[in-house]
Amino acid sequence: MERIEIQGGGCAHCAEKAGTSRREFIATSAASAVAALLLAACGGAQGPSGITGPFSFSVLVSNYPALANVGGIAQVDSGGAPIAAVRTGASTFAAFSLICPHFGCTVGINRSAFQCPCHGAQFASNGTWIGGQRTSNLAAYGTSYDATTNELTITN
Ligand code: FES
């Protein structure tokens, strides 16, 4: 029986779902294909924020109807990394990684807040953990808004 140890980069949640911790994640060669699929589903080698290295991207706010009003939240992914934008004022926004700080699942938007489908962590619209599975706050990104072009730029 071939033993394969998954080191770093994978999603601990997926390793946990496979029945053990990431460090102890042992599989036969036949099961390793399943492990690879599980890890890929959780973002593979991405870091806890979902993005490795600096980034900056812009979105047209008009493409996201939920951002038309203050308090609105929309998922504005970039390069496969799940990111949420929150309209906090007429010309102000916040942005957060939707990679759950608990075990790396993709956090969902729940009306005016966030909820992780894996273990139930809940986060306020400002990214602060507010209930469910205890964990840290969502990772926040910088934002800038150009009212003349209605363009929101998100950076880390
Ligand atoms: S991965 Fe466990 S609460 Fe999100």
* pLDDT (tens digit per residue) in 102-125: 999 999 999 899 999 999 999 999
CATH number at residue 94: 2.102.10.10
Clarify whether residues 61 and 25 are in a common domain: no
- Write out the residue range of the structural domain in which residue 15 sits: 4-41
Distance CA 148, CA 19 (A): 52
Residue 9 falls inside a structural domain: yes
| Ligand 1 binding pocket, CB closer than 6 Å | 13, 100, 102-105, 116, 118-121, 133
Beta-carbon neighbour count of residue 48 at 10 Å?
Answer: 17
Residue 50 falls inside a structural domain: no
Distance 149 CA to ligand 1 centre (A): 37
Q: Whose Cα sits closest to atom 3 in ligand 1?
A: 119
State pLDDT tens for residues 23-71: 433 333 333 333 333 333 343 333 345 566 788 999 999 999 999 999 9
Residue 35 falls inside a structural domain: yes
Nearest to 39 by CA among 121, 117, 105, 116: 105
Mutate to test the pocket of ligand 1, among 98, 105, 129, 137 (most ligand atoms within 8 A of CB): 105
Clarify whether residues 78 and 16 are in a common domain: no
Mutate to test the pocket of ligand 1, among 97, 102, 122 (most ligand atoms within 8 A of CB): 102
Residue 86 falls inside a structural domain: yes
Clarify whether residues 9 and 66 are in a common domain: no
Count of domains in the chain? Answer: 2
- The closest-lying atom of ligand 1 relative to the alpha carbon of residue 103 is 1
Clarify whether residues 33 and 97 are in a common domain: no
Phi-psi map region of 71: left, alpha, beta (phi>0 left; psi -120 to 50 alpha): left
User: What confidence tier does 78 reach under pLDDT thresholds 50, 70, 90?
Assistant: confident
